[in-house]
Structure 1
Amino acid sequence: MTDSADTTPAPITHFYSPETPRSELTVYRGPLVGRSGARQFDATGSITLRWNPSPMLQWSGVSKDVDVGIDLTTGSLTLEEPSIEVLSKHSLRIASGDEGPPDNIRWKGGGPLGRVVAGNPKAKDLAHATFILANLPTMQVGAKLRHETTWYLGRTVLTGAGWKVTLDSPRNYREIEVDLRDNGGHAVTHTGRVEREDSTDFSTEDLQDVLHVLRYVLSLACGRWTSPVLPVAYNNAAEPAWSEWTSPLISPWRPSLGLVDGFHPEQLQEIFERIAAAWADPLKQEVVQRAIYYLIDANDPHPLELAVSSAQSGLELLAWSELVEDRHIYTAKAYGPLKAHESMRELLALHSISEKFPPGLTELASVAAKLTGLAVGDGPEVLTRMRNGVMHPSRAKPKFSTGEWYDAWCLARHYLQLSILGYLGYQGTHRDPAVKVHFTGQIEKVPWNP
């Protein structure tokens, strides 16, 4: 319980807030500009972010213009679907119901909408920004938040590269996660706030950088895509100055295959710190982005063979980046003749990652027995030869059971996850994909910092 003197903060509020975690969000309602071929016309309508079947920004509009679909120069019907643009002077405001459709409607349309920037796209006097997140598992420990007359542990604060990011879960976050677990799909799970640690101003370009960092941090953490949604930035006068409307990259809910455990927020903090630092180097930024893409692809086991191939592609990316670009162990010419399992083995050795089979992956012994000329317990060569068997099938090559592919999948993700963490210089703990049965709170140390 709380009393009147309690200073516990309430959760962050956002400019665009859904009525329920699964409610669509209407971000704009009012005048629109329509285009049909070379023709421009006036329209009225709305722009809405819908969650299902996948997150999609959509427009709907009506017009009393008589000849929306007619090319006035030729008098013929245009072949293009009319497109819609937002009048910028009206764009950054709470959607309201005070602008109904015009009389004498002659045209009605709707469809998907690309990225829209509302407000000032070049603002430089921003003090903070807020956003919402969907399908992000909640940390089980955190700072206190107030809900009416009670409090709960729902706040996570991340810092790095001069930024401070606050993530708040709602009081009923357990109900939301139960609903997602039972029914899948998408639902809003958090509100967030981003600002400079020293409270100095920042620009929209700075903000977009840190929001991209946050997408990769949180997606790596939970093992599937999630992104900040509908960010709104405020200037020093506390007025909304900028917003971005787009269809966010968010995977449907599925059991988390991420490396962060809900009882260990320090893992998320260090990942944010490391990725934010890497963002200053354009090459490292590119490598981190692609490696996380490969890992998230590998986390989808349908089918297992493609998931293993995705993980191995990520390992090849990191091997080139570490052995050639960063450490200069090989020149590009000398690296070329290396076989895939040889470069993978050298990458693992850089970070003290054992090439031997982890003890829980018992099916790999039977895989090794089917492959001739294989050293006992050589994980890199097992993965390479299994992948090659899929890419270059023949009657002479051995076939593998689902159980054998499953253990190979765990091994490939184990190697790739650790290699990403090694590339980032991460020193903490993680949830290891090679441990097939995880209990809440169970974590493993990275091998280079035992």
Structure 2
Amino acid sequence: MPNSAASPPSAPPPTAHFYPAETPRGEVVVYSGALDGQSGTRFFKAEGSVSLRWSPSPAMQWSATSPEFDIGFDPTTGHLALEEIRITVPEKHPFRVTPRTPPQQDDARWNGRGPQPRIVVGTPDARDLTHATFLLANLPVMPVAGTLRDKSTWYAGRTVLTGANWKVTLDAPHDHQETQRDLKENGGYAATHTGRVEREDGSDFSTQDLQDVLHILRYALSLACGRWTSPILPVAYNNAAEPTWSEWASPLVSPWRTSFGLVDSHHPEQLQELFARIAAAWADPLKQEVVQRAIYYLIDANDPHPLELAVSSAQSGLELLAWSELVEDRQAHTAGTYKMLKAHESMRELLALHSIDPMFPPELTELSSVAAKLTNLSVGDGPEILTRMRNGVMHPTRTKPKFTSDEWYDAWCLARHYLQLAILGYIGYQGTHRDPAVKVHWTGQIEDVPWNPSNSVTGRQ
């Protein structure tokens, strides 16, 4: 909770970002001033701005006015231009945001607004970067975070992540509780954190290195909270403390919803290990590709609308990991012998690699009735039940059994349980997690991963 008492001497202020979000849902202006426009074959001058706007979804947009008229008229054809109007920033290094002054009404004969494609500004191949800052949206705040100060207010708001010689600092503003409350009540999008990334040993890095760690952070944070969140509008500084590189792009961020993430807000050590493990996996191009795709499948599976599609997404992720582990990494199968396996058999072998019980947890009570509906089951464990349910949707007949929404819900919990654990096993994670198979969680409740049951955590009763 924020406290207006004297700040502890060691409490730092939150990280400042070059492009600040003045309010959590307010637009973030990255440029204002002269703009170049093109409509068909016609070029024109304009004044305006480029900014990130949150509604209806986070996107970079331009807005501009011009004293010219008939902007949409193409003089070479004598007709209106069919292409979208394109706006570009003329300056090579536009690391400044000047106050916008609306043009006089008499001077503005045209005004428009449109989507702004991705722009990289500054030095694209800089190699003398010392740190970078960025914004984050829709990321929950950990109440056990480190202490920050804002003038006379000090509060818990800092999370520090390390791995692969990277140090990432995530800071929430002092009014983060109001923002979280607003998101929970109204949904949508809002800036929730500022961030800073640097080398742990203080050494320089390149723009390519920076893009790699920002991708690592995107996947670690998104896996942690069960929906997409990404570093936004990063700005990198060189060893002269000057801004030298930035990326203006529409971010990948999911609208706020109840989190199905594996990290509990009272256990920051989970997020720390998650970041370190994904950062370590990033050094292997194949592991990097597999981790990215598997997380995509899990986040798709976290959306239960509809449940059948969510279960199918989770199974696709399991098939990806089964191939990667059984054929590429451990060479337990050749490509030929793997193709001879049935879907539930490869899934079962994948689970066995990480001591994941193929029998469904007893709290998923509806799966017993599913098993009873499915005749001719060879085993009747979780992988076979999930496969048979999906096959019934993909290849329906008049005789195959139908399942209730409660039965699909428990299948959904089981599929995510398997995929989440398989991802954690693939990256070598050893800590605890929030288990999707536990349908009712309370704050602070976590479970062991089955291949490391020595954490002595509060789990299922």
Q: Which TM class, normalised by the smaller chain length?
A: over 0.9
Alignment partner of 1:23 out of 23, 26, 30: 26
Q: Which residue of 2 aligns with 1:140?
A: 143
Instruction: Summarize the alignment of residues 98-113 of structure 1 with structure 2, pairs less than 5 Å apart.
Output: 98=101, 100=103, 104-113=107-116
Paired positions, count:
450
| Runs (5+) with no aligned partner, structure 2 | 454-461
Instruction: Summarize the alignment of residues 319-398 of structure 1 with structure 2, pairs less than 5 Å apart.
Output: 319-375=322-378, 377-398=380-401
Q: Which residue of 2 aligns with 1:33?
A: 36
Q: Which residue of 2 aligns with 1:294?
A: 297
1:301-324 deviation line (CA, Å, top 9, x unaligned): 011110000000000000001011
Q: Contact 2:303–2:310 (CA<8 Å) still a contact in 1?
A: yes
The 3 A distance-change label for structure 1 pair 376 and 343 is closer
Paired with 1:448 and 1:324, the residues of 2 have a C-alpha distance of: 21
Q: Which residue of 2 aligns with 1:238?
A: 241
Q: Which residue of 2 aligns with 1:166?
A: 169
Paired with 1:123 and 1:72, the residues of 2 have a C-alpha distance of: 42
Paired with 1:101 and 1:366, the residues of 2 have a C-alpha distance of: 72
State the shift of 1:231 in Å: 0.9
1:189-227 deviation line (CA, Å, top 9, x unaligned): 111100011111111111111111110000000000001
| Worse-matched range after superposition: 91-100 or 365-374 | 91-100
Paired with 2:111 and 2:224, the residues of 1 have a C-alpha distance of: 43
State the shift of 1:3 in Å: 4.7
Q: Which residue of 1 aligns with 2:210?
A: 207
Q: Which residue of 2 aligns with 1:150?
A: 153
Paired with 1:381 and 1:95, the residues of 2 have a C-alpha distance of: 62
Paired with 1:98 and 1:239, the residues of 2 have a C-alpha distance of: 27
The 3 A distance-change label for structure 1 pair 100 and 196 is farther
Paired with 2:377 and 2:434, the residues of 1 have a C-alpha distance of: 29
Instruction: Summarize the alignment of residues 207-286 of structure 1 with structure 2, pairs less than 5 Å apart.
Output: 207-286=210-289
Q: Does 1:440 align with 2:443?
A: yes
| Runs (5+) with no aligned partner, structure 1 | none
Q: Contact 1:39–1:71 (CA<8 Å) still a contact in 2?
A: yes
Q: Does 1:119 align with 2:122?
A: yes
Q: Which residue of 2 aligns with 1:402?
A: 405
SS in 2 for 1:91: coil
SS in 1 for 2:44: strand
1:411-436 deviation line (CA, Å, top 9, x unaligned): 00000000000000101100000000
Q: Alignment identity in percent?
A: 72
| Worse-matched range after superposition: 91-100 or 35-44 | 91-100
Structure 1: which amino acid aligns with 2:332?
I
Paired with 2:135 and 2:369, the residues of 1 have a C-alpha distance of: 47
Q: Contact 1:62–1:101 (CA<8 Å) still a contact in 2?
A: no
Q: Contact 2:371–2:385 (CA<8 Å) still a contact in 1?
A: yes
Paired with 1:88 and 1:163, the residues of 2 have a C-alpha distance of: 32
Q: TM-score, normalised by structure 1?
A: 0.96
The 3 A distance-change label for structure 1 pair 429 and 110 is same
| Worse-matched range after superposition: 372-381 or 22-31 | 372-381
Paired with 2:347 and 2:301, the residues of 1 have a C-alpha distance of: 17
Paired with 1:282 and 1:114, the residues of 2 have a C-alpha distance of: 28
| Worse-matched range after superposition: 172-181 or 322-331 | 172-181
Alignment partner of 2:11 out of 8, 23, 43: 8
Q: Contact 1:271–1:426 (CA<8 Å) still a contact in 2?
A: yes
State the shift of 1:392 in Å: 0.7
State the shift of 1:95 in Å: 4.0
Paired with 1:218 and 1:378, the residues of 2 have a C-alpha distance of: 32
Q: Does 1:60 align with 2:82?
A: no
Q: Contact 1:29–1:99 (CA<8 Å) still a contact in 2?
A: no
State the shift of 1:133 in Å: 0.7
SS in 1 for 2:420: helix
Q: Contact 2:13–2:149 (CA<8 Å) still a contact in 1?
A: yes
Structure 2: which amino acid aligns with 1:325?
E
Q: Contact 2:7–2:154 (CA<8 Å) still a contact in 1?
A: no
Q: Contact 1:158–1:269 (CA<8 Å) still a contact in 2?
A: yes
Q: Contact 1:367–1:404 (CA<8 Å) still a contact in 2?
A: yes
Paired with 1:66 and 1:174, the residues of 2 have a C-alpha distance of: 48
State the shift of 1:67 in Å: 5.3
1:149-197 deviation line (CA, Å, top 9, x unaligned): 2322211100011100001112222221111111111111111100011
Q: TM-score, normalised by structure 2?
A: 0.94
| Worse-matched range after superposition: 57-66 or 21-30 | 57-66
The 3 A distance-change label for structure 1 pair 101 and 384 is farther
Paired with 2:7 and 2:400, the residues of 1 have a C-alpha distance of: 74
State the shift of 1:66 in Å: 4.6
Q: What root-mean-square deviation, in Å, do the aligned CA atoms of Structure 1 and Structure 2 show? A: 1.7
Q: Which residue of 1 aligns with 2:457?
A: none
| Worse-matched range after superposition: 344-353 or 116-125 | 116-125
Q: Does 1:310 align with 2:313?
A: yes
Q: Which residue of 2 aligns with 1:83?
A: 86
1:372-393 deviation line (CA, Å, top 9, x unaligned): 1225650000000000001111
Q: Which residue of 2 aligns with 1:50?
A: 53
Paired with 2:31 and 2:304, the residues of 1 have a C-alpha distance of: 39
Paired with 1:152 and 1:80, the residues of 2 have a C-alpha distance of: 51
